Amino acid sequence: MSYYMAKTLAIPFEQALERTVEALKKEGFGVLTEIDVQATLKRKLDADFRPYRILGACNPPFAHKALLAERHIGIMLPCNVVVQQAEGGTEVSAVEPVAAMAPVQNPALAEVAKEVSVKLRRVIDSL
């Protein structure tokens, strides 16, 4: 099982970013954090890098279930979604929750991960 799901879109980076945020909202996710990797690398290292954003997506009801099922699971939240310039367009990828949570070995958490995986797959597929 892959640790991510992805799709390449034949649209500009900024448009893909907007479309991704909207698709996340439709599935009940909010974006808690947004890390502009390109700007950070330029500022900290004076390094040029492709447009690359990490979105920290959270679906509050599922985050709550996960936190109730596993006390320390907050170290693995929120769900990261990456929007990056790629050959042929813009790639959007998301963490695969089932793969990410597998090492925890908690059946209740595994069920939450399956549900979140379905939602994130719908986000990626809808783009």
pLDDT (tens digit per residue) in 21-44: 999 999 999 999 999 999 999 999
Q: Provide, rounded to the nearest whole percent, the portion of the chain with pLDDT above 90.
A: 98
Assigned token pair, 97: 């929750």
One-letter identity of residue 55: L
pTM: 0.95
| For the chain, domain boundaries | 4-126
pLDDT tens digit sequence for 51-83:
999 999 999 999 999 999 999 999 999 999 999
In CATH, what class is 4-126? Answer: alpha beta
Q: Which residues of 48-70 are buried (b: 16+ CB within 10 A; e: fewer)?
A: eeebbbbbbbbbeebbebbeebb
